[in-house]
């Protein structure tokens, strides 16, 4: 057995519990060990580590100074992603960070270059492309099951955050709206499957600027709370992606891919156990079916998957499936979509190798 892979969490808020719950549930822990957590709000790291193990570090500096630590998993708010990742990489730690990779394409590129130059592994959420069903779609596409893919349609109707998130007002501001917050889910899948995007056009707006928080207090939103984007991939595939924090309830959580010889539908694009159906040739009938049609949207996400993929990638000396380079392509694309939606122009995306 190789030595344990020890990671710490930076940011002991809402999502940290999901990550660590799922890490704890794993039957085979593969020698992956939680070393501890840090959070600037007093008591949060103590509460998290009391439940899940490891130590409460006094600060991110203390995390970075721990010589026995292999990696840092960054679960802080988006404006902190790039600065914390940079700090961890400069201290020689591998990094998994929540989406989006950074607050600008330049900052994202700096991180990717820093990791590459230091021989460290940098992985970026979302990791839903690691899901069983999502991996199956990727294999089917690569194997030509649909002929040549020509069109993809994806819906990310994520609901108004103030329906459930106590800090919704701040979340809208910090996350820059659903395009940056949840747009990376469909975009990561599509870019993983079809390669980089060449250009985008989009429309969108702030459709519900005046909102009421869970505490009953009104607040204002000025980010784009709905975007409909059209993407042209370098591979020739066209896609339409809709992303929303407007809906109260929605059945729009899935995606479809249409090729020259078949169509594929995934009932919920985020779920590892979503239902997948395929129609072949000239038939309208969904003749192949697999997955769980009863699973609710966003159920079935294994929140430990990114941590385990990071550890395996480091051990196997390979890039993680959810690499920071993919995160950078996603970041380029969301910024281009935002510019297209605000300007009404068609925006080209710079290629990088
Ligand atoms: N909540 C969700 O459903 C969800 C789902 C997927 C991804 N995410 C992503 O996870 C990240 C965290 O979201 P959340 O909902 O847990 O937010 P949260 O506000 O509940 O928790 C974030 C925590 O990070 C801490 N923090 C702030 N600055 C820090 C720093 N410099 N170093 C260490 N910790 C710091 C905060 O004190 C807070 O405890 C965000 O990027 C978000 O987009 C959230």
Residue 157 sits in the same domain as residue 77: no
pLDDT at residue 297, rounded to an integer: 46
Q: Ligand 1 centroid to 325 CA: how many Å? A: 22
Q: Which residue has the higher pLDDT, 300 or 228?
A: 228
Q: Is the CB of 15 under 6 A from ligand 1?
A: yes
Q: Locate the ligand 1 atom nearest the alpha carbon of residue 12 and give its number.
A: 39
322 close to 184: Cβ distance less than 8 angstroms? no
Is there an atom of ligand 1 within 6 Å of 45 CB?
no
Q: Check whether 298 has a pLDDT greater than 60.
A: no
Using a 6 Å cutoff on CB, does residue 84 contact ligand 1? Answer: yes
Q: pLDDT tens across 252-263, in order?
A: 999 999 999 999
Of the residues 99, 124, 149, the one at which a domain ends: 124
- Distance of alpha carbon 272 from alpha carbon 305, whole angstroms: 10
Per the structure, the count of domains in the chain is: 2
Q: 139 with 118, same domain?
A: no
Is the bond preceding residue 126 a cis peptide, omega within 30 degrees?
yes
Comparison of pLDDT for 177 and 166, the residue scoring more:
177
pLDDT level of residue 352 (50, 70, 90 thresholds): confident
Residue range 315-348, pLDDT digits in tens: 999 999 999 999 999 999 999 999 999 999 999 9
Burial class (CB in 10 A: 0-12, 13-18, 19+), 250: middle
- Say whether both 171 and 298 belong to one domain: yes
pLDDT of 167 reads 86
Sheet strand arrangement including 226-233: 288-290, 276-280, 262-266, 255-259, 149-157, 238-244, 226-233, 197-205, 347-348
Residues sharing a CB contact under 8 Å with residue 67, sequence separation 6 or more, in sequence order: none
Which residues, 6 or more positions from 90, have their beta carbon under 8 angstroms from its beta carbon? 64, 114
Ligand 1 within 6 A of 166 CB?
no
Q: Which range marks the domain in which residue 23 is found?
A: 5-124
Q: What is the CATH number of the domain that holds 20?
A: 3.40.50.720
Same domain, 172 and 83: no
User: How crowded is the C-beta side of 57, counted as CA atoms within 13 Å?
Assistant: 22
Are 139 and 84 members of one domain?
no
Q: Is the pLDDT of residue 288 over 80?
A: no
Q: The domain spanning residue 222 has which CATH number?
A: 3.30.360.10
Ligand 1 binding pocket includes 10 (Cβ within 6 Å): yes
Atom number in ligand 1 closest to CA 13: 21
Note the pTM of the prediction, 2 decimals: 0.95
| Residue 23, token pair as written in the block | 């890490």
- CB atoms under 10 Å from CB of 198, counted, come to 16
Task: Report helix, strand or coil for 340.
Answer: helix
pLDDT of 279 over the 60 cut? yes
In a domain, 313, yes or no: no
Q: Given ligand 1 and candidates 17, 56, 75, 156, which is best to mutate, with the most ligand atoms within 8 Å of its CB?
A: 75
Query: Which of 124, 159, 188 delimits the end of a domain?
Result: 124
280 lines ligand 1 (CB under 6 A): no
Nearest residue (CA) to ligand 1, atom 27: 76
Using CA atoms, how far residue 40 sits from 2, 61, 62, 92, 139, in Å, is 33, 11, 12, 22, 43
Q: Are residues 105 and 254 in the same domain?
A: no
The reply to whether 324 falls in a domain is: no
Torsional class of 103: left (φ above 0), alpha (ψ -120 to 50), beta (otherwise): alpha
Tally of CB atoms within 10 A around 209: 12
Most informative mutation of 21, 76, 82 for ligand 1 (most atoms within 8 A of CB): 76
Domain match, 162 and 198 both? yes
Q: Is the same domain home to 109 and 202?
A: no
Q: How far is the CA of 81 from the centre of ligand 1 (A)?
A: 9
């Amino acid at each position: 057995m190789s030595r344990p892979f020890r990671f710490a969490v930076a940011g002991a808020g809402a999502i940290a519990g999901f990550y660590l719950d799922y890490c704890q549930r794993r039957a085979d822990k593969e020698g992956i060990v939680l070393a501890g957590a840090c959070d600037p709000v007093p008591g949060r790291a103590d509460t998290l580590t009391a439940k899940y193990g490891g130590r409460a570090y006094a600060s991110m500096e203390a995390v970075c100074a721990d010589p026995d630590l292999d990696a840092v998993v960054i679960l802080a708010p988006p404006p902190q992603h790039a600065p914390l990742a940079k700090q961890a990489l400069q201290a020689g730690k591998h990094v998994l960070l929540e989406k989006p990779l950074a607050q600008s394409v330049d900052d994202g590129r700096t991180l990717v270059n820093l990791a590459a130059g230091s021989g460290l592994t940098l992985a970026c959420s979302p990791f839903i492309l690691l899901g069983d069903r999502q991996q199956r779609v990727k294999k089917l596409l690569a194997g030509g099951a649909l002929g040549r893919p020509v069109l993809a349609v994806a819906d990310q109707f994520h609901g108004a955050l103030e329906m459930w998130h106590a800090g919704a007002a701040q979340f809208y501001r910090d996350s820059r709206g659903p395009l940056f917050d949840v747009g990376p889910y469909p975009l990561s899948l599509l870019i993983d499957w079809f390669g980089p995007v060449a250009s985008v056009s989009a429309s969108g707006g702030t459709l519900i600027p005046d909102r009421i928080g869970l505490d009953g207090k009104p607040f204002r939103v000025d980010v784009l709370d709905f975007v409909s984007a059209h993407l042209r991939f370098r591979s020739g595939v066209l896609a339409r992606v809709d992303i929303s924090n407007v809906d109260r309830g929605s059945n729009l959580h899935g995606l479809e891919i249409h090729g020259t010889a078949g169509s594929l539908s995934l009932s919920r694009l985020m779920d590892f156990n979503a239902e997948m159906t395929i129609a072949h040739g000239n038939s309208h009938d969904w003749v192949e079916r697999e997955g769980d049609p009863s699973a609710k949207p966003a159920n079935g996400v294994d929140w430990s998957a990114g941590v385990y993929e990071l550890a395996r990638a480091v051990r196997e000396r390979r890039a993680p499936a959810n690499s920071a380079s993919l995160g950078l392509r996603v970041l380029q694309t969301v910024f281009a979509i935002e510019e297209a939606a605000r300007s009404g122009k068609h925006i080209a995306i710079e290629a990088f190798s």
